[in-house]
Amino acid sequence: MNKYVAECIGTFWLVLGGCGSAVLAAGFPDVGIGLLGVSLAFGLTVLTMAYAIGHISGCHLNPAVSVGLWAGGRFETKELLPYIVAQVIGGVIGGGILYVIATGQAGFDVVASGFASNGFGEHSPGGYSMTAALVAEVVLTAVFIIVIMGATDKRAPAGFAPIAIGLCLTLIHLISIPVTNTSVNPARSTGVAVFVGDWAVSQLWLFWLAPIVGGFIGAKLYNMFAKESE
């Protein structure tokens, strides 16, 4: 159970830290932390938790990462579903804590604010289409898995994986916040969407499908080009 509790806590921290920075601090009051600050916040949640729980659960914090590592032969099939369940529970807890904090401000409207939910079309921050959102999420998740598998490869320098992974997630957010508000993580998307309901839930399918497909592709690609040098 220690692994599942660690994944739950870690994903809770990712949603509270990353989405919390977007909801509470991105534009506060007139000049907030902005896109760069939110991107760094997501990267820092993974970086800090990788050092805190990496030795317990591997610090996946993301169903797409768990699926990718499974597809790449780095993760056992029997652990896949329990990890995903723990991650989603942690994400929803993080979203719940954030909801309690955010609604403590007079006049806060969770639906109107978007609550850091992921979306496409009229719910994309930059008005990007469903196709653009799908491509961005698949490709960026694939690259994320390649970085994770490469940084944690036994041939990689020891001890630096959390830094590479955290900075990769930061870069992913810098690229795709305008497109989808950046998911690459179904648990992160679910954790806030359930409190918005409405459009956030109706568009949630894309932010499960695309990251999981991207995770699978990234793992297969890494094993393909890394195999010869083993």
Tens digit of each residue's pLDDT (9 = 90 or more) over 119-133: 999 999 999 999 999
Q: How far is CA 124 from the centre of its chain?
A: 17
Looking at residues 56-74, what average pLDDT do you find?
Answer: 96
Q: If we measure between CA atoms, which residue out of 221, 101, 206 comes closest to residue 149?
A: 221
Q: How many residues does the chain have?
A: 230
User: How far apart, in whole angstroms, are the C-alpha atoms of residue 89 and residue 7?
Assistant: 9
Torsion, CA 185, CA 188, CA 194, CA 197, rounded to 10? -70
In this predicted structure, the answer to whether residue 27 has a pLDDT above a threshold of 90 is no
User: How far apart, in whole angstroms, are the C-alpha atoms of residue 25 and residue 18?
Assistant: 10
Looking at residues 180-188, what average pLDDT do you find?
Answer: 97
| In the chain, where the domains are located | 3-224
User: How far apart, in whole angstroms, are the C-alpha atoms of residue 117 and residue 114?
Assistant: 6
Give me the amino acid identity at 143: V
Kindly indicate the confidence band of residue 228, based on its pLDDT and cuts at 50, 70 and 90: low
Residue of 184 and 112 predicted with greater confidence: 184
Two tokens, residue 111: 């639906």
Tell which CATH classification among 1.10.3720.10, 3.90.70.10, 2.60.120.380, 1.20.1080.10 matches the domain 3-224: 1.20.1080.10
In this predicted structure, the answer to whether residue 75 has a pLDDT above a threshold of 70 is yes
Two tokens, residue 172: 């992913």
Mean pLDDT score of the chain: 95
